[in-house]
Amino acid sequence: MGKIDLDDLDGTGKLMNIVFTRGITQRWSDDGVASVAVQPGPVGSSFGRDSWFVGLIYRSPLIALAERGPDPEINGRYFSRFNANGRDNTQARDQSIIDGLWEPSAALVGLT
């Protein structure tokens, strides 16, 4: 879901995170940097906050990814729960969108 408008990058959302993850993978994987995007539903909410068990179930994918380290096999992937090939928007694989988001973002933080 969602659509990136490269003329208005003030938007927020999962799609931009996925696209930016792909940009990191393309630019920095040779330097040993690995990046994955994770479905934010349980991360961005307080769901399970009052239950240790429910909270553990929803944090498990993040823990598993952290323990895995910079694994080239999962670099640049979008995780939806335990699925390393979560469904994503076609814009997330569009190189012009990846570059179009990366370039102004890099300029904003002084990387260019």
The answer to whether position 18 is within a domain reads yes
The answer to whether position 4 is within a domain reads no
Q: What is the pLDDT of residues 29-45, one digit of tens each?
A: 999 888 888 876 554 45
The answer to whether position 90 is within a domain reads yes
Residues 75, 80, 82: CA angle, nearest 5 degrees: 80
The answer to whether position 59 is within a domain reads yes
The answer to whether position 9 is within a domain reads no
The answer to whether position 74 is within a domain reads yes
Which residues constitute the domain of residue 26?
14-108
The answer to whether position 22 is within a domain reads yes
**R_g over Cα of the chain:** 15
The answer to whether position 44 is within a domain reads yes
Q: What is the pLDDT of residues 60-110, one digit of tens each?
A: 666 667 777 777 888 888 877 666 777 778 888 999 999 999 999 999 899
Lowest mean pLDDT among 3-7, 36-40, 54-58, 65-69: 54-58
Q: What is the pTM for the complete model shown?
A: 0.70
Handedness of CA 13, 15, 21, 27 (dihedral sign): negative
Count of domains observed in the chain? 1
